[in-house]
Amino acid sequence: MTTAAKRAPGGTLQIVQVWLVTRLLFATIAMAVAITGGRALETVLTQWDVAHFLLIAREGYADPREMAFFPGLPLVLRGFATLGVSPVLAGSALALVSSLLAAFALKRIAGVWGATAWLLAPTAVFTAVAYTEAPFCAAAFWAWERATQRRWGQAALLAALACTLRVSGLFLIGALAVLALTQGRRDGPALGVRLAWLLLPAAVLVAYVVYLHGLTGSWTAWFAAQQEGWQRGWHWPWEALRNHWEALWRPTPEHPEWVWLFRAEMIAWIVGVLVTIVALIRKRIAEASWVGVQVLAFSLSYWLMSVNRAVLLWFPLWRLVGEFVESRPRTRGWVVLGWTIGVCAVAVQCVWAWLFFTGRWSS
């Protein structure tokens, strides 16, 4: 358990309260959009990637471009549909529960305030709808927590679950391998055993690649889907940054929010770089590798895309936030500043949720 977590032994009620308030706000915004637009709530919740997951749940990978999405969540949604339960509503419920589980894991990794900050993240709306962020974070955060406690068998099972959901599982395996290499022996298993456990989540990724090869005859079907559907072909980092920089100053009259979201993507990318550097300075090599490899991956596309959502996965960021808050004196000035930041965070969350529920691009 981290130092921040040790200094804040309680806080479960605070986490549940923040989770409940923010999720109720998301639900209120979604219902308001549905009522004012004369639409069903399910259509409001079925935006962007949700539609892709539902299509895969119904038809499998009939469209090769859909292979960019991992099968874990679509399989769960198909299961709900088979039981006669709305996959959209059930997927949202799954995300809500998973976000609370992820916050509890963060409480152990990053302390109460780190978990609270994560619940107040600008893009937290993606942890309240049928996206992979919430279940992935729940599995990945608990995998990391278990690994730090030297429970490598449990960590491997949770990491394997995470690998069914998104390609970020590959980065999780790499970061866990670094953790295994840098973790002292003490009361845990030997290094060879720690690394051997990681073969389990790696096998999940290999199985998906083999499955796609059986469908397409190509070993690079996932990369092809990324390139064809989302322009995520190979580019050098300086090319990606140049292309993204140009997009920061090209407002689109039909979509005025786009330029601001592109700017937010750049800010999120810079935050990732800074977190990686700080983690390295603090000799948290495994945590630095977890964030750093993702920052690098985002830098190899045409431009920076989906970094705003990836911030939700960066538990080292929320650990640093939690440690900073815990180190501040409880003076009136700091308390007022904290409440001000909290209110602003909720306001930004609500705007981001409104963008999503109204069908506007929101990362």
Q: What is the pLDDT of residue 12?
A: 94
Helices (DSSP H) in 120-256: which residue ranges?
A: 133-148, 152-163, 168-182, 191-197, 199-216, 221-230, 237-247
Alpha-carbon distance 74 to 255, whole Å? 30
For residues 250 and 70, give the distance between their C-alpha atoms in angstroms, rounded to a whole number.
33
Q: Residue ranges of the alpha helices (H) in the chain?
A: 3-7, 12-37, 41-45, 49-59, 72-82, 87-119, 133-148, 152-163, 168-182, 191-197, 199-216, 221-230, 237-247, 257-281, 285-298, 307-310, 315-327, 332-357
Phi and psi torsions of 28, nearest 5°: -65, -45
**Is residue 313 within 8 Å of 101, Cβ to Cβ?**
no
How many angstroms separate the CA atoms of 142 and 159, rounded?
Answer: 9
Helix (H, G, I), strand (E, B) or coil at 161: helix
| Phi, psi angles (nearest 5°) of residue 252 | -105, 115
Q: What is the pLDDT at residue 10? A: 66
- Distance separating alpha carbons of residues 75 and 329, to the nearest angstrom: 48
Reduced to 3 states (helix: H, G, I; strand: E, B; else coil), residue 117 is: helix
pLDDT above 60 (res 2)? no
How large is the average pLDDT for residues 285-297?
A: 97
Predicted TM-score of the model (pTM): 0.94
Instruction: Answer yes or no: is pLDDT of 7 > 60.
Output: no
**Domain layout of the chain by residue ranges:** 3-226+331-357
Task: Using the structure block, give the residue that is written with the tokens 């299509």.
Answer: 55
Neighbours of 250 (CB within 10 A): 9
Indicate the pLDDT class of residue 258, thresholds 50, 70 and 90.
confident
* More confidently predicted of 101 and 360: 101
Q: Which residue has the tokens 């920052």?
A: 295
Q: Kindly provide the b/e burial profile for residues 41-62, where b requires at least 16 CB atoms within 10 angstroms of the residue's own CB.
A: beebbbbbbbebbbbbbeeebe
223 close to 178: Cβ distance less than 8 angstroms:
no
Residues 6 or more apart whose CB falls under 8 angstroms from that of 98 comprise 127, 134, 135, 137, 138
Mean pLDDT, residues 243-256 taken together: 85
Give the range among 118-132, 193-207, 247-261 with minimum mean pLDDT.
Answer: 247-261
Average pLDDT of every residue of the chain: 93
Q: Tokens in use for 48?
A: 């962007």
**pLDDT tens, position by position, 274-285:** 999 999 999 999
8 Å CB contact between 209 and 180:
no
What's the rounded mean pLDDT across residues 257-271? 93
Query: Can you give the pLDDT at residue 232?
Result: 77
Task: Point out which residues pair with 255 in neighbouring strands.
Answer: 252
Terminal Cα-to-Cα distance of the chain (whole angstroms): 33
Q: What band does 8 get if pLDDT is binned at 50, 70 and 90?
A: very low
Between 328 and 162, whose confidence is greater?
Answer: 162
The pLDDT of 144-172, averaged and rounded, is: 97
Give yes or no for residue 227 having a pLDDT over 80: yes
Residues 314 and 172: their CA atoms lie apart, in Å, by 11
Q: Give CA–CA dist 121/271, Å, rounded.
A: 13
Residue 5: which pLDDT band, with cuts at 50, 70 and 90? very low
| Cα dist from 49 to 29, 46, 83, 133, whole Å | 19, 8, 22, 11
What φ, ψ does residue 234 adopt, rounded to 5°? -70, 130
Mean pLDDT over 320-349 rounds to 93
The torsion region of residue 267 among left (phi > 0), alpha (psi -120 to 50) and beta comes to: alpha
